[in-house]
Structure 1
């Protein structure tokens, strides 16, 4: 299945932002996944822009990183 390029773009932006903020906070993927209550491999997929997380999952990640959800999605 081929995804629309715009669909791939928002996932890449989300992944880059999650990784950048997580690293700024000196947080491991494992700790972030635990705090956001998601599987570690799923978190890795989100950071690589390969997963399509729900709004609830994105909100939990934002909360675990102590940032507004909009910060994760802004380019």
Structure 2
């Protein structure tokens, strides 16, 4: 399966934001936002496609806007 470029860009940006905001561990961040660690991993690798509800959870957990999460997606 080929992973679309926009999902790879989103995942890399999510990983960067997570780390910049002090969440070194996917597991701790996942617990913070109420998602499973494997789901966070899938998002960061581009294998998962988040819903709007998940985008809002991630943004709130990182104290950014949903549009900030999508900044690198063309």
Range class of TM-score, shorter chain:
0.7 to 0.9
State the 4+ residue runs in structure 1 displaced beyond 4 angstroms: none
Q: Unaligned regions of 5+ residues in structure 1, if any?
A: none
The number of residues matched between the two structures is 71
1 or 2, which has the higher helix percentage? 1
Per the normalisation by structure 1, the TM-score is 0.83
Structure 1 residues 36-51: aligned runs within 5 Å: 36-51=33-48
Per the normalisation by structure 2, the TM-score is 0.84
Contact 1:10–1:73 (CA<8 Å) still a contact in 2? no
Structure 1 residues 7-18: aligned runs within 5 Å: 8-18=4-14
From 55, 61, 73, give the equivalent of 1:58.
55
